[in-house]
């Protein structure tokens, strides 16, 4: 079946602009995660959804970052007033949402470049 998909694959924007990044999880997965991977680093957690609600947003760096998942499937990560330091690969992952040994499946990522 289809895996996690993310669009766009690449996004170039100018400092101060607003961007939206989209994630389509695996069908039926109730848990959805956003991570950010900077060059030469491992992914860092941003936010976790269980269904429609953001159950853990402790990784969002500041209030310029926001994410939604209105129908419990597709999620959008929104970044306002982008800064050069926001440049990174943004990864989405989904899972069945089972506690304990749940495996997260990752999408290919969106590479965001802020000029």
Partner 1 sequence: GNSVTQMEGPVTLSEEAFLTINCTYTATGYPSLFWYVQYPGEGLQLLLKATKADDKGSNKGFEATYRKETTSFHLEKGSVQVSDSAVYFCATQTQGGSEKLVFGKGTKLTVNP
- Interface with partner 1 (CB under 8 A), residue total 29
- One symbol per residue from 24 to 63: x for binding partner 1 (CB under 8 A), - otherwise; what is it? -------x-x-x----xxxxxx--x------xx-xx----
Q: Please report, for the chain, how many H helices and E strands are present, in that order.
A: 0, 11
> 3-state secondary structure string, 4-45?
CEEECCEEEECCCCCEEEEEECCCCCCEEEEEEECCCCCCEE
Question: C-beta of 101: minimal distance to partner 1 in Å?
Answer: 5
Residues making contact with partner 1 (CB under 8 A): 4, 31, 33, 35, 40-45, 48, 55-56, 58-59, 91, 93, 95, 99-109
């Amino acid at each position: 079946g289809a895996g996690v998909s993310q669009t766009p694959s690449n996004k170039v924007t100018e400092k101060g602009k607003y961007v939206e990044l989209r994630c389509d999880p695996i069908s039926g997965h109730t848990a959805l995660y956003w991570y950010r991977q900077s060059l030469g680093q491992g992914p860092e957690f941003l936010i976790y959804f269980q269904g429609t609600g953001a159950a853990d947003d402790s990784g969002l760096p500041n209030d310029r970052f926001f994410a939604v998942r209105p129908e419990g499937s597709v999620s959008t990560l929104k970044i306002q007033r982008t800064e050069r330091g926001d440049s990174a690969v943004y990864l989405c992952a989904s899972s069945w949402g089972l506690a304990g040994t749940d495996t997260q499946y990752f999408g290919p990522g969106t590479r965001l470049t802020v000029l």
